[in-house]
Amino acid sequence: MSRTDLAGKKIAITGGARGIGAATARLLADRGAAVAIGDIDAELAAETAAQISAATGARVHGLKVDVTDRVSFEQYLDAAESGLGGLDVLVNNAGIMPTGEFLDESDTVTDRQLDINVRGVITGSKLAGRRFAGRGRGHIVNIASVAGISAAPGVAVYCASKYAVVGLGAALHQELAPKGVTVTTIAPSFVNTELIAGLSPNWFVRQIGFIEPETVAAAIAEAIAGRRGGFRTVPKIGGVFLRALMPLPENLRNSIYGALGLQHVTLNSDESVRAAYRERTEKPTPAAEPEKQTGTRKTGTRS
Ligand SMILES: NC(=O)c1ccc[n+]([C@@H]2O[C@H](COP(=O)([O-])OP(=O)(O)OC[C@H]3O[C@@H](n4cnc5c(N)ncnc54)[C@H](O)[C@@H]3O)[C@@H](O)[C@H]2O)c1
């Protein structure tokens, strides 16, 4: 792919202030796309957008969005469209991964995961899908996880949320294709971001599924450039391994997970290392406050 293969594409990416979203925004900008980073952390979104814009010369906006708030999401898409002069792609990337035993998880934390990881992706797919279908063209990329095709203790609700994203994408891939809307579901394995702070991917995970955010960004860019719909894991080998185990009886599959030490990775996290991530992500979903939405702000912009 050349540095200009995405030239002219107008792309919105939620949760783009850091991690996989920021790496994706950077790569897309590098390849010539104009990008509207949306994040609940508006300050960091603006900072990240300014940095990417300065490094690449691309048009990059940093906007506020709370994906759990429909009004905020609609305003974000409006601001992205008016700032970029249209929208070709929405990447639903924002997500959180609280860890710990299911029986100890507060309802607040459960709701927060479902609100962001499931409702946010559904809302984004619906709002952008309507805009794209009306024009007969567009692309929705939803970020799921290998936790959406496998399961591990310590992240039960996170797994449930990602299974939902995988199911949603599989249905929309069929339903929206005739309307000219491509739907891609990307399922990364362990990615080196704050989301996995305090987790210790063991030797096996490091062999087949421990990657940098730039690797996920490359898979997203490839799907957008090629208008490739459907489901894919990143890296591919992680998906091949997990899918090879699928036909096995569940108890046998779990024994294999256990023998490979996979169940310990998510169940036994270092809480002292994870404290900052928890503090950032596990606050209750705030009541909708559309008047505080700053989606029309255009920071970090370079034309
Ligand atoms: N890191 C991994 O190992 C991994 C693996 C598989 C899938 N994923 C998925 O990739 C996506 C990105 O994860 P990451 O590792 O980059 O995490 P991250 O924590 O580094 O970044 C997530 C971003 O989403 C933003 N966000 C959170 N709640 C939001 C909300 N309500 N509205 C708007 N933005 C919000 C955060 O502020 C943050 O900037 C998530 O959907 C995650 O589940 C991550």
Write out pLDDT tens, residues 223-277.
999 999 999 999 999 899 999 999 999 999 999 999 998 888 888 889 899 999 9
Ligand 1 center to 249 CA (angstroms): 32
Q: What is the pTM of this model?
A: 0.93
Query: What does the pLDDT look like over 52-87, one tens digit per residue?
Result: 999 999 999 999 999 999 999 999 999 999 999 999
**Quick one: pLDDT at residue 85?**
97
Catalytically active residues, by annotation: 158
Ligand 1 atom showing the smallest separation from residue 158 Cα? 43
In this structure, the strands spanning 10-14 and 89-92 are parallel
| Separation between Cα atoms, residue 233 and residue 210, nearest integer Å | 12
Question: Quick check: 291 and 60 in contact, CB under 8 A?
Answer: no
Residue 292 has a pLDDT of 39
Distance CA 176, CA 183 (A): 7
Residue-level pLDDT at 138: 98
pLDDT computed for residue 286 by the predictor: 58
pLDDT of residue 95: 98
Q: Does domain 10-283 have CATH number 3.40.50.720?
A: yes
- Per the CB < 8 A criterion, the answer to whether 91 and 38 are in contact is no
Residue 298 pLDDT level (bands cut at 50, 70, 90) = very low
- pLDDT for residue 2: 58
Which residues on adjacent β-strands are paired with residue 210?
190
Give 295 Cα–ligand 1 centroid separation in angstroms: 19
Task: Please tell me the number of Cα atoms within 13 Å of 302 on its side-chain side.
Answer: 13
Question: In degrees, to the nearest 5, what angle opens at C-alpha 65 toward C-alphas 175 and 301?
Answer: 105
For 169-210, what is each residue's pLDDT tens digit?
999 999 999 999 999 999 999 999 999 999 988 999 888 889
Q: What residues form DSSP beta bridges with 142?
A: 92, 185
- 179 class by beta-carbon count within 10 Å (0-12 exposed, 13-18 middle, 19+ buried): middle
Q: Is the bond into 286 cis (omega within 30 degrees of 0)?
A: no
Confidence at residue 132, expressed as pLDDT on a 0 to 100 scale: 98
> Residue 265: CB within 6 Å of ligand 1?
no
Q: pLDDT at position 291, please?
A: 39
- Statement: residue 288 has pLDDT above 50: no
What is the average pLDDT across 127-156?
Answer: 97
CA atoms within 13 A on the CB side of 68: 18
Task: Say if CB 39 and CB 16 are below 8 A apart.
Answer: yes
Mean pLDDT of 120-149: 98
Query: Residue 126 CB: number of other CB atoms within 10 A?
Result: 14
As a whole-number percent, the residues of the chain with pLDDT over 70 amount to 92
Structure tokens at 26: 């950077």
Which of 2-6, 80-84, 271-275, 287-291 is modeled with the greatest confidence? 80-84
**How much is the mean pLDDT over the chain?**
92
Closest Cα to atom 30 of ligand 1: 66
Q: What confidence score (pLDDT) does residue 295 get?
A: 33
The response to whether residue 190 sits with its C-beta less than 6 Å from ligand 1 reads yes
For the chain, the structural domain boundaries read 10-283
In three-state secondary structure terms, 214 is helix
Pocket test for ligand 1, best of 14, 27, 40, 63 (most atoms within 8 A of CB): 40
For residues 118 and 33, give the distance between their C-alpha atoms in angstroms, rounded to a whole number.
27
